[in-house]
Amino acid sequence: MANLLTPDICVIGAGSAGLSVAAAAAAFGVEVVLIEKGLMGGDCLNYGCVPSKALLAAAKAAHTQEAACRFGVHGDKPKVDFAEANDHVRRVIAAIEPHDSQERFEGLGVTVLRETARFTGPDEVLAGAVRIKARRFVIATGSSAFVPPIPGLEDVPYLTNETLFQLRDRPEHLAIIGGGPIGLEMAQAHRRLGSKVTVFEAQKALGKDDPELATLVLDTLRAEGIDILEETAVEKVGRSGAGLAISAKDADGKPVTVEASHLLVATGRAPNVDGLGLKEAGVDHDRKGIAVDKGLRTSNRRVYAIGDVAGGLQFTHVAGYQAGLAIRSILFRLPVSMTSDIVPWVTYTSPELGHVGLSEAEARSRYGDKVKVLTAVYAGNDRAQAEGLTKGRLKLIAGPRGRLLGADIAGAQAGEVINLLSLALSMKMTMKDLAGFIAPYPTLGELVRRAAISYYAEAPKNAWLRKAIGFLRLFG
């Protein structure tokens, strides 16, 4: 007979979402069982956000040294040791690992089981030799790289985000299938570290972002030597000598063949649902993930699903946000509702590309001619001029009564600037609020205030205001 545990909450998956739920519940003295079959920290720590940003940092260091001549700083071209860059990635992961470790969570009072979890019924999970009957279950198993059914792909060596960061030797020519954030971040990182890079994208690269600002980023990447083939669908992959041959067709049906030494597949994510016993649990799901309501509950009211496995926006910060909602619902019985409109995202290329709220098209669809698009360019910002970072643009989407509906930004530190705008959006701030705050000079944050002030650009031409000023002048 398997051992039986009866905690208040059973969490399946020790990635960002699961760890957040487990830590919060334990902090309130609630009994929690956390089950993880793989590495603690999940995809974000081991294969995703952390290693990718560490590699981008190494690439930025190489590029900064090479571009230093713009500031009168001259020296030899940097010599890149790809293995040492990979060592930096390992060190960053190792520095963060203790925070997500089994030891830390056991110290918090969480029972951690390093096993595969499978539902055996609507209120029971089996993990190795342990049965868990809990009041509530939280599925937070995340997602894995989606590998499309391209002919020949299964017969050649290819990389995904789970294997890319194991490379010790620099790819001579890295071909990437997928022109989304992951594909383009890794394209720029490897290009700056000395690889030749070709990106295939069947539709438009960065297609979920503002088209004008996405073009600004793509133009920069192309100027750095990255070959980005948009509207070019890969049809076949095979071997070619010591490398690979990627065969595709462009929008006009013209065949395109690229030979490369390495291939990275970055075509999106697939939810980790296999083997969970969701049928036995009475939990509905499809290829996009587990179906949840606005309160993140599944078709089995005992079971919640959060993070990538629930589909929708797949970001670490969304996983954390959903974990907070789940805790409020489970522990305090509070009504909660997932609100996608306030979720920001950033693509960490150089320049960065950030977004929050409604896009310009979405805002016009909802509010019509009541929408105003306000802009500020990096070239008009003194800090950007001082640092030679003048490629960039900020857009604020203002709705009725000047309320902030959304924002898009392409440029240096876009991710940091979007933080302010994410707060402003969640607090339902207006252009009056954004025009009225004091930004320290000189900072890139002044872009926000400058764009907001332009909402009132027509005020000096208002005849009634001019008359009011004239009347007040009569009093001295």
What CATH number should be reported for the domain holding residue 373? Answer: 3.30.390.30
- The CA distance from 115 to 43, in Å, is 17
Lowest mean pLDDT among 133-142, 326-335, 467-476: 467-476
- The CA distance from 266 to 256, in Å, is 19
Query: Which position has the token pair 């190489």?
Result: 62
The band of 460, judged by pLDDT with boundaries at 50, 70 and 90, is confident
For residue 387, give the nearest of 445, 442, 449 by alpha carbon.
Answer: 442
The band of 465, judged by pLDDT with boundaries at 50, 70 and 90, is confident
114 shares a domain with 54 = yes
Residue 468 lies in a domain: no
- Residue 179 counted as an annotated binding residue: yes
pLDDT, residue 96, reads 97
Average pLDDT over residues 9-30: 98
Query: Could you tell me the end-to-end alpha-carbon distance of the chain, in angstroms, rounded to an integer?
Result: 93
Q: Which tokens is 171 given?
A: 């790819």
Radius of gyration for the chain, computed over Cα atoms and rounded to the nearest angstrom:
25
- All residues at 6 or more sequence positions from 312 whose CB lies less than 8 Å from its CB, including other chains: 289, 318, 338, 340
pLDDT, residue 78, reads 87
- All residues at 6 or more sequence positions from 447 whose CB lies less than 8 Å from its CB, including other chains: 376, 378, 381, 394, 409, 417
Please give the sequence-ordered ranges of beta strands (E in DSSP) within 348-454, or none if there are none.
352-357, 372-377, 393-398, 404-411
For residue 18, give the nearest of 9, 7, 6 by alpha carbon.
Answer: 9
- The CA distance from 238 to 245, in Å, is 5
Helix/strand/coil for 308: helix
313 shares a domain with 210 = no
- Residue 280 counted as an annotated binding residue: no
Task: Give the DSSP H/E element, type plus range, for residue 50.
Answer: helix 49-66
The CB-side HSE value for 385 (13 A sphere, CA atoms) comes to 9
Domain that holds residue 185: 153-268
- Residue 445 counted as an annotated binding residue: no
Residue 90 lies in a domain: yes
- The CA distance from 273 to 143, in Å, is 8
Helix/strand/coil for 38: coil
- Residue 37 counted as an annotated binding residue: no
The CB-side HSE value for 464 (13 A sphere, CA atoms) comes to 0
CATH number assigned to the domain comprising residue 237: 3.50.50.60
Residue 92 lies in a domain: yes
The answer to whether 192 and 78 are in contact (CB under 8 A) is no
- Residue 324 counted as an annotated binding residue: no
- The CA distance from 352 to 350, in Å, is 5
- Residue 308 counted as an annotated binding residue: yes
Instruction: Give per-residue pLDDT as tens, 248-283.
Output: 999 999 999 999 999 999 999 999 999 999 999 999
- The CA distance from 408 to 345, in Å, is 10
Number of domains in the chain: 3
Q: Looking at the predicted structure, is the pLDDT value of residue 1 above 70?
A: no
- Residue 141 counted as an annotated binding residue: yes
- The CA distance from 417 to 355, in Å, is 10
The residues pairing with 130 across neighbouring beta strands, listed in sequence order, are 3, 127
- Residue 142 counted as an annotated binding residue: yes
Instruction: Give per-residue pLDDT as tens, 145-198.
Output: 999 999 999 999 999 999 999 999 999 999 999 999 999 999 999 999 999 999
- Residue 467 counted as an annotated binding residue: no
- The CA distance from 399 to 402, in Å, is 5
pLDDT, residue 2, reads 66
The residues pairing with 57 across neighbouring beta strands, listed in sequence order, are none
Residue 346 lies in a domain: no
279 shares a domain with 264 = no
The answer to whether 27 and 152 are in contact (CB under 8 A) is no
Residue 470 lies in a domain: no
pTM over 0.75: yes
pLDDT, residue 366, reads 95
Q: Which tokens is 345 given?
A: 């995202």
Residue 407 lies in a domain: yes
Residue 476 lies in a domain: no
359 shares a domain with 310 = no
The answer to whether 147 and 233 are in contact (CB under 8 A) is no
Which runs of consecutive H residues, i.e. helices, occur in 139-224? 161-164, 181-192, 211-223
- Residue 181 counted as an annotated binding residue: yes
- The CA distance from 365 to 359, in Å, is 10
**Which residue, 236, 268, 300, sits at the end of a domain?**
268
Phi, psi of 402 (to 5 degrees): 75, 15
For residue 287, give the nearest of 427, 114, 474, 148 by alpha carbon.
Answer: 148
Residue 473 lies in a domain: no
- Residue 53 counted as an annotated binding residue: yes
pLDDT, residue 134, reads 97
439 shares a domain with 316 = no
277 shares a domain with 137 = yes
pLDDT, residue 228, reads 98
**Which residue, 239, 268, 297, sits at the end of a domain?**
268
- The CA distance from 380 to 176, in Å, is 35
406 shares a domain with 274 = no
User: For the chain, what is the mean pLDDT?
Assistant: 96
DSSP secondary structure of 273-284: -TTS-HHHHT--
- Residue 396 counted as an annotated binding residue: no
Report the DSSP pairing between strands 345-347 and 352-357: antiparallel
Instruction: Give per-residue pLDDT as tens, 430-450.
Output: 999 999 999 999 999 999 999
275 shares a domain with 139 = yes
55 shares a domain with 119 = yes
Average pLDDT over residues 86-113: 97
139 shares a domain with 16 = yes
**Which residue, 298, 319, 340, sits at the end of a domain?**
340
- All residues at 6 or more sequence positions from 124 whose CB lies less than 8 Å from its CB, including other chains: 131, 132, 133
Task: Give the DSSP H/E element, type plus range, for residue 177.
Answer: strand 173-177
- The CA distance from 273 to 287, in Å, is 9
- The CA distance from 68 to 120, in Å, is 61
Instruction: Give per-residue pLDDT as tens, 343-393.
Output: 999 999 999 999 999 999 999 999 999 999 999 999 999 999 999 999 999
452 shares a domain with 441 = yes
- Residue 268 counted as an annotated binding residue: yes
274 shares a domain with 256 = no
450: burial class by Cβ within 10 Å (0-12, 13-18, 19+)?
buried
